[in-house]
Structure 1
Amino acid sequence: MSGTGEELSHRAMAMLRAVAQGRAVMSSSVEPDLFIDGVACCDQMAAHALAHGGYIRPDGDGERLVPAVLTEAGRAVLAPAVGHVA
């Protein structure tokens, strides 16, 4: 994932939308796990790729779960799809 969004799957885009809506938390580990609506994400490989690709990040540090937030790259990928992402 290079930050363009062209290679993001529909599932990855849905994960970004959930993060944008404030419905996701993630661990701040080296391989961060993503939880949406309190349930472990079904595609942790995609979650890792979104984090390592710079689309999402944990809003905090430590071993506990913290809110997941979009980075500037994540907001840019979603902006054309939804018109505006806060």
Structure 2
Amino acid sequence: MSTTNPATAADAGLNPRQRAMLRAVAGGRSQITCSSEPDLYVDGLPCCDQHSARDLVRTGLICPLASAGIGQLVAAGITASGRDALGA
């Protein structure tokens, strides 16, 4: 019989790379493009897993912090749900 650890229940479904991406956004190290298929940049470099970045946006864990033209970079922010997923 297995039990669920409360610390891991909040991040169910997130892989280690997605958790690292969330930590980078939470740390203020990320930018995101404004588009229907947003791209995430960490420390000025494009993220290697844009599919996961887009999943984080679609599931409401990260979001752009400002409105801008299509394709423009703005700061990325973590949502309350994203903070919950990190267990913060």
TM range (shorter): 0.7 to 0.9
Computed over aligned residues only, the root mean square deviation of the Cα atoms, in angstroms, reads 1.0
Question: What is the TM-score of this pair, normalised by structure 1?
Answer: 0.85
Q: Which entry has the higher C-alpha Rg, 1 or 2?
A: 2
Give the unaligned 5+ runs of structure 2: 1-9
List structure 1 runs of 4+ shifted beyond 2 angstroms.
none
The number of residue pairs the alignment matches comes to 77
Residue 6 of structure 1 corresponds to 12
1: CA distance between counterparts of 2:33 and 2:67? 8
* Structure 1, unaligned runs of 5 or more: none
Match of 1:77 in 2: 85
Identity %: 44
TM-score normalised over the length of structure 2: 0.83
- Per-residue CA deviations over 1:28-75 (Å, capped at 9, x if unaligned) read 211110000000000000000000010000001123100000011001
